[in-house]
Chains A and B, each alone.
Chain A
Amino acid sequence: MKPRPTMTERIHVVDGTRFLARPEHRALRVLGVIGLVVLWEALGRAGAVPVLFLPSPLGVLREGWDMLRSGELLVHIGASLQRLAWGFVIGSALGIAVGVAVGFFAVAEAIGTPLIAATFPIPKIALLPLLILWLGLGEPSKIAVIALGVFFPMAINTYAGVRQADPLLIRAAVAFGAGRFSVIRKVVLPSALPMIVAGLRLAAGTALLLLVAAEMIAVESGVGFLVLHAGNIMATTKLMVGIVVLSLLGVLSHWGLGRLERALIPWRAGA
């Protein structure tokens, strides 16, 4: 009989999912942004790009600060925010109401879905001239176009959220004596809330786009006006200030809606 080998063969199990790990790389996140700004500033200082076409970040910052101190920037931001707020409130209130009605009542669904399907694909900017014809050059037409842009994502998302409401929960509510409006208020709306907030996020992007477009026609204030006017007189630094403000508005609304989501939907936290 042969002697047994002194070493038994062993295969070590290795973690085969390692390449699937996605570490956060916090430093890279910050470095990416800083790197871009530094590169931009360096390009300007090296004289690679004329300042008229691409003002340096520091120049934009300085200009922004001056405009803030003179009050000019706040006038524009204030005018824009007011239009956004009105358009957002009107558009989302109507959108949620229509979404709930179409999602819950068969009659409203039969009437509403074809109408929404037919009007939803129209680029809302195309309606701006029509709205100006109807409502005049003043604020109402600006607010109306934003409200229209907000209305559709809100109505469609609310509708989808209402349709997704768990039939079991609706039956449970009915089993405990809930009528139609109780079911809407206590089951359907809370069920649709995550979709409604997602709709707000979509609407925020659309609203910003339409705001700038609307402010490029016959207004004397607003960030959109600032961008267009600065471009016309080749004040590129001012133009860039306007763009930075728009980007900040976008980031802020995203952050604010995130906060709103956590406040409105506490049962989702950590679920």
Chain B
Amino acid sequence: MRVIIDRLAKTYVDRHGAAVEALSDVSLTVESQEFVALLGPSGCGKSTLLNAVAGLLPVSAGEVMFESPPSGRPLTAMVFQEFALFPWRTVQGNVEFGLEELGMAAAERGRRARVLIETTGLAGFEARYPHQLSGGMRQRVGIARALAVDPAALLMDEPFSALDAQTRQLMQEELLALWERTRTTILYVTHNIQEAVYMADRVVVLSRRPGRVLAEIDVPLKRPRTEAMQTEPGYLETVERIWSLIKDQARAALAEQ
């Protein structure tokens, strides 16, 4: 399935009644089985773009389309920066949520959820509530919940930015390993250049508000990715190139806040 974002624009009205242009004329195509990172300075509308793809907000112009969607599978599933787990559900209950909404029978649901709990390293924590888990474990639940419904495209909104640096590194490795097995199409929002280059096939750089596509940069690294690649010239050059692209943007954003 391809995800086609066609001349998308989003303007919203802020608390003071002023119109804020979050996205302006964004066009972008994500190919099947591609891992695309959406990168930009804070307030560039990258989360807005992701939410538009998930159908979680009204857009002002343009549209999002899914080309040759698979039958019997949800189009998208989302992993949230703040995890967005249901505090009144256990790990098992959270992972089963999307399956419930798909109308899957209880026994089947339990079986499917247990598989995902196993793959995401949550075995033994099924009966815990989110508040009893560390940040890294919580996001594993978020990822398990999303993968459980077997979406045609996985949308990830800065999934690891609320985690400490060491946990983030480990979770990146885990996600890459998981992706090697499933090859689910991923649209991955991040503000971290190193993370974008390390994880993605292609990095889409957005400008600051109103967000537009500044550049699309192919990452010249082979799969599977390894930590050692973070010292390769290809990696370092790509990071440097993107940084020089958005340095001024980031500086301007800093001065604004």
Residues of A near any B CB (own CB < 8 A): 168-169, 171-178, 182, 186-187, 190, 193, 265-267, 270-271
Contacts and interface: CB of A to CB of B under 8 A. Distances in A.
A174 B87 CA distance: 16
Contact of B131 (A169, A171, A175, A271): A271
Contacts of B97: 173, 176, 186
B56 A174 contact: yes
Task: Say whether chain A's binding surface is mostly helix, strand, loop, or mixed.
Answer: helix
B98 interface: yes
Nearest to B87: A267
13 contacts: A168-B84, A169-B84, A172-B80, A172-B84, A174-B56, A175-B77, A177-B102, A186-B97, A266-B88, A267-B87, A267-B89, A267-B130, A270-B131
B23 interface: no
Given A168-B82, A173-B86, A190-B86, 17 more contacts: A168-B84, A169-B84, A171-B84, A173-B97, A175-B78, A176-B101, A176-B145, A176-B149, A177-B74, A177-B101, A186-B86, A187-B86, A193-B88, A266-B88, A267-B87, A267-B131, A270-B131
B232 to A, nearest CB: 36
A172 B78 contact: yes
Nearest first, the 6 closest Cβ-Cβ pairs linking A and B are A177-B101, A172-B84, A176-B98, A190-B88, A175-B78, A271-B131
Interface string B74-101: 1011101010101111000000011011
Contacts of B78: 172, 175-176
A172 B142 CA distance: 10
A267 B149 contact: no
A177 B98 contact: yes
Q: Is the interface of B mostly helix, strand, loop or mixed?
A: loop
Contacts of A174: 56
A244 B131 CA distance: 42
Contacts of A270: 131
A193 B86 CA distance: 13
Contacts of B82: 168
A152 B19 CA distance: 39
Nearest to A178: B101
A171 B130 CA distance: 18
Interface residues of B, number: 24
Interface string B133-151: 0000000000001000100
B54 to A, nearest CB: 5
B3 to A, nearest CB: 15
B129 interface: yes
B71 to A, nearest CB: 16
Given A168-B84, A172-B84, A266 B77 contact: no
A171 B88 CA distance: 16
B244 to A, nearest CB: 35
Contacts of B101: 173, 176-178, 182
B56 A175 contact: yes
A209 B67 CA distance: 65
A270 B89 CA distance: 15
Contacts of B102: 177
Contacts of A267: 87-89, 129-131
A171 B131 CA distance: 20
A173 to B, nearest CB: 7
Residue among A168, A172, A193, A271 having the largest count of chain B Cβ atoms under 10 Å? A172
Contacts of A172: 78, 80, 84, 86
A14 B131 CA distance: 35
Contacts of A265: 88
A177, A267, A271: most-surrounded residue (chain B CB, <10 A): A177
A270 B131 CA distance: 9
A270 B129 CA distance: 11
B87 A175 contact: no
Contact of A175 (B54, B86, B89, B100): B54
Contacts of A171: 51, 56, 84
Max chain A C-beta neighbours (<10 A), residue from B86, B88, B98: B88
Contacts of B145: 176
